[in-house]
A and B are shown apart, each in its own frame.
Chain A
Amino acid sequence: MTTYILRRLVQGVVVLLAVSMICFIIFRYLGDPVLTMAGKYATQQEIQEVRRAFGLDQPTYVQYGRFIWNALHGNFGKSYVSRVPALGLILERFPATFELACAAMLIALTLGIGLGVAVSLNPSSWPSRLIMAGSLGGISVPTFLTGVLLIMIFAVYIGILPPFGRGETVQIGFWRTGLLTADGLRHLVLPATTLAMYQLAVLLRLTRAGMREVLAEEYIKTAWAKGLPPGKVIVKHALRNVLIPVVTMAGLQFGELIAFSIVTETIFQWPGMGNLLLQSIYETDQPVIVTYIMLAAFLIITINMVVDILYAVLNPKIRYD
């Protein structure tokens, strides 16, 4: 197990290096940040000064080497726009995105697994058919449409939920949370539902397919023959087997929820990392973009590793050595 984790760690570092190299090269040739910072009407001399001040006159490999060296020290450079450390800028926005992703994951997991089990038990009933048709919608309707529709229904027509922003928040140490106030929670409902919709549909369909397969297994017949009540047969004997692929999927999706909540955050003006990224792309704020991508890669690698370890816990047939 230890060797396995070590090997995964080394792999993770290699992946991070590759990611850093790719984004560094891409952004080196994507617009000139100097023009952004110096302004449209800067003289040639001013431009040269800015270029020198940010070390952009050095050869590419020197810039990259310095970038890696600094990154190892937690220094991802300063934002060209707001002139503060990029990492700090992103981490400040992290709690908002993390809370949004967690809420979305919670919705997707509970409803996805719950409905998936319910549908698998009565596959031909009308509610089941309706749910399955709806899940197809959840997979195929794009996030921006879901978000806009939800805003239209719940914020405009019915008017019970706020359409944008994070509402009232409370600062606890470095963490600014919206979970502790009623207003914050009300603001969370629509964006979390929007973000959850796709994952919910995927988990629902995965759970249903898994349950239908497992319920036909011999060991479920054994469980009934033991005299177990339906709840135990379904949850303890069937669902536990279905959870193996479901948890894997959910874990992998969680990383993506955090990293790619950009669309949802934009629709709901959610002050998270995704919103910041989009803004930074408009402004060619290279350090922020690179830091964001590095952080996203780091999160996904970490979560994948946790999922793999969790997989071994759930499935006794898997032993890493």
Chain B
Amino acid sequence: MQHSAHLLDIQHLKTHFATFEGVARAVDDVSFHLDRGEVLGVVGESGCGKSVTAQSIMRLIPEPPGKIVGGHIWFDGMDLTTLDPAAMRRIRGDRIAMIFQEPMTSLNPVYTIGDQIAEMFELHRGMKRREAWQQAVAMLEKVQIPAPHKRAGEYPHQLSGGMRQRAMIAMALACDPEILIADEPTTALDVTVQAQILDLMLQLKEDFQTAVMMITHDLGVIAEVAQRVVVMYAGKVVEQAPTLALFEDPKHPYTRGLLRSIPKLGERSRQGRRHLEEIPGMVPGLLELPPGCRFEPRCSHATAVCREREPELLDLGSNRLVRCHLYGS
């Protein structure tokens, strides 16, 4: 197990949070992997554990109240869940980088963009300030920020949202990381800017040969960029499939519901205007999870067995996994 064939191999990860009401199992036995140069989409509603998974990989879980209580995260022969803090710091930013959702608040307001990018080169490459600054300007140019020399000397509040997210990307890719974790990188942006940022990320992924883990609740983003998709629900992986297969033939009732809730242009039923379908009910609170399948209360296919026993993750062949009793023997 020590030497996984995958670039990043998450095995049975469990990250729990201690709250006043009890233990919230935010990530509960999650396993998936990421290969060199691929874009993996991780999709799910808010609170499904996708961001906590990402923060577990980076070991950014605030502790207390959070804690990785089980499982392994293999990266280059190392288990990131047990790595000592100093070794973890050398990986963070340098080999695994992360972009966050809010470009407005993810940059430090009292330092210039150039300073914040240059800091990466000073920290991980041991460069002197001047050289690091020049590299920072070069990075800004790579993320297509016009007049990078001038922009490098500006503060975050002087830049637009899209510009700031470009700066964040420049910072994340500064040290040429093997893995880029993007946590909802386009959610806070205008739709037109979203497309630009996604294009930029895809292009840079090719240039830098970086594997990308794209976390989003937006299936449109997944369809555009990801080769493989992991669908999460209430702290569990419920389905995993190549993107095309997932969109053409979703297996899990939850995935089907997600896909049906996307508006499609030009699609009308014979009765005229079709209402958008929604998944009935709400995501269960992590403290009051149903005893059986976690999706059972909202599922139209639920049977007695779903209420009693939690389904295993079944291998359907051709790289497809699903956690549902419908496909059991």
- How many angstroms between the C-alpha atoms of A317 and B100 in the bound complex? 23
- A219 and B89: CB pair below 8 A? no
Asked whether B309 is an interface residue with its Cβ less than 8 Å from the other chain, the reply is no
Given A227-B89, A227-B91, A229-B89, CB of A219 within 8 Å of CB of B106: yes
A218-B100, A316-B155, A317-B155 known; A226 vs B92 contact (CB < 8 Å): yes
A316 to B155, CA, bound (A): 7
* Binary per-residue interface labels of chain A (221-237) against chain B in the complex, 1 for a CB within 8 Å, 0 otherwise: 11111111100000001
Residues of B within 8 A of A228 (CB): 89, 93, 119, 123
A240: chain B residues at CB < 8 Å are: 108, 110-111
Does B80 lie at the interface of the complex (its beta carbon under 8 Å from any beta carbon of A)? no
Residues of A within 8 A of B109 (CB): 219, 241, 316-317
- Candidates A217, A224, A241; contact of B60 at CB < 8 Å: A224
Tell me if B92 and A314 are in contact (CB < 8 A). no
Query: In this assembly, does A315 line the interface, its C-beta being within 8 Å of a C-beta of chain B?
Result: yes
Tally A residues with Cβ within 8 Å of B. Answer: 20
Instruction: Write out the residue numbers on chain B whose beta carbons fall within 8 Å of the beta carbon of A317.
Output: 109, 155, 157
Interface string of B83-105 (1 = CB under 8 A from A): 00000011111100110101001
B229 at the interface (CB under 8 A from A): no
- Residues on A with beta carbons closer than 8 Å to the beta carbon of B92: 224-227
Binary contact track B46-82/A, C-beta < 8 Å → 1, others 0: 0000000000001010000000000000000000000
Min Cβ gap B246→A in Å is 29
Residues in B whose Cβ lies below 8 Å from that of A316: 109-110, 112, 155, 157
* Partner of B106 from A218, A229, A314 at Cβ < 8 Å: A218
* The one of B102, B110, B155, B171 that contacts A226, using a Cβ cutoff of 8 Å: B171
Q: Assess the A222–B107 pair: CB atoms within 8 A.
A: yes
Bound together, the chains give a CA A240 to CA B100 distance in angstroms of 22
A310 CB to closest chain B CB (Å) equals: 14
8 Å CB interface, A198-229 against B: 217-219, 221-229
Closest partner residue, chain A, to B174 (CB atom): A226
Contact B100 A227 (CB under 8 A): no
**CB of B124 within 8 Å of the partner chain:** yes
Task: Identify which of A218, A221, A315 contacts B110 (C-beta below 8 A).
Answer: A315
CB pair A226–B120 under 8 Å, yes or no, is: yes
From B58, B100, B106, B110, name the one whose CB has the most chain A CB atoms within 10 angstroms: B110
Contact B90 A222 (CB under 8 A): no
| Count class of interface residues, chain B | 20 to 34
| Assembled-state Cα–Cα distance A229/B86 (Å) | 8
Interface contact B93-A225, CB-CB below 8 Å = yes
Chain A residues with Cβ under 8 A from B171's Cβ? 222, 226
C-alpha gap A219/B93 in the complex (Å): 14
User: How close is A3's CB to chain B, nearest CB, in angstroms?
Assistant: 22
When distances are taken between beta carbons in the complex, the residues of chain A under 8 Å from B110 are 240-241, 244, 314-316
List residues of chain B with CB within 8 A of the CB of A221.
60, 100, 106
Let me know if A225 and B108 touch, CB within 8 A.
no
A140 to chain B, nearest CB (A): 31
Q: Please measure, in the bound complex, the distance between the C-alpha atom of A221 and the C-alpha atom of B94, giving whole angstroms.
A: 15
Q: With A and B bound together, what is the CA distance between A314 and B110 in angstroms? A: 8
In this complex, what residue of A is CB-closest to B90?
Answer: A227
Expressed in whole angstroms, the Cα–Cα distance for A227 and B110 within the complex equals 19
* Minimum Cβ distance to chain B for residue A32 (Å): 57
CB A251 to nearest CB in B, in angstroms, measures: 18
**Contact residue among B90, B108, B112, B119 (Cβ-Cβ distance under 8 Å from A219):** B108
Cβ–Cβ < 8 Å partners of B119 in chain A: 226, 228
**With contacts A225-B97, A317-B157 known, is A218 near B91, CB below 8 A?**
no
Q: Encode contact with B along A120-150: 1 for CB under 8 Å, 0 otherwise.
A: 0000000000000000000000000000000
CA distance A46 to B91 in the complex (A): 90
Are the CB atoms of A227 and B124 closer together than 8 Å?
A: yes
Q: Considering the chains assembled together, what is the distance between the CA atoms of A244 and B109 in angstroms?
A: 12
A218 & B102 in contact (Cβ 8 Å cutoff): yes
Q: Assuming the A-B contacts A218-B102, A317-B157, are A223 and B120 also in contact, with contact meaning beta carbons closer than 8 angstroms in the complex?
A: no
Q: Which of B58, B124, B155 contacts A225 (CB 8 A)?
A: B58
Q: In this complex, what residue of A is CB-closest to B119?
A: A226
User: Across the interface, which residues of B come within 8 angstroms of A241, CB to CB?
Assistant: 108-110
When chains A and B are docked, how far (Å) is the Cα of A229 from the Cα of B122?
Answer: 13
B25 → chain A, closest Cβ, in Å? Answer: 22
CB closest residue in chain A, given B55: A221
Q: Are A227 and B123 in contact (CB under 8 A)?
A: yes
Give A306 to B120 CA distance when docked, in angstroms: 34
Q: CA separation between A237 and B110, bound complex, in Å? A: 8
Q: For the complex, what is the distance from the CA of A225 to the CA of B89, rounded to whole Å?
A: 8
Known: A227-B90, A229-B89. A222 touches B124 (CB 8 A): no
State A96–B123 Cα separation when bound (angstroms): 47
- Ranked nearest first, the 8 interchain pairs of A and B with the lowest CB-CB distance are A227-B92, A227-B93, A218-B105, A226-B93, A316-B155, A219-B108, A225-B98, A227-B89
11 residue pairs A–B, Cβ–Cβ below 8 Å: A219-B105, A219-B106, A222-B171, A226-B119, A226-B123, A227-B89, A227-B90, A227-B93, A227-B123, A229-B89, A240-B108
Given A225-B98, A240-B108, list of 14 further CB < 8 A pairs?
A218-B100, A219-B105, A222-B100, A222-B107, A222-B168, A225-B58, A225-B60, A225-B93, A227-B89, A227-B91, A227-B124, A241-B108, A316-B157, A317-B157
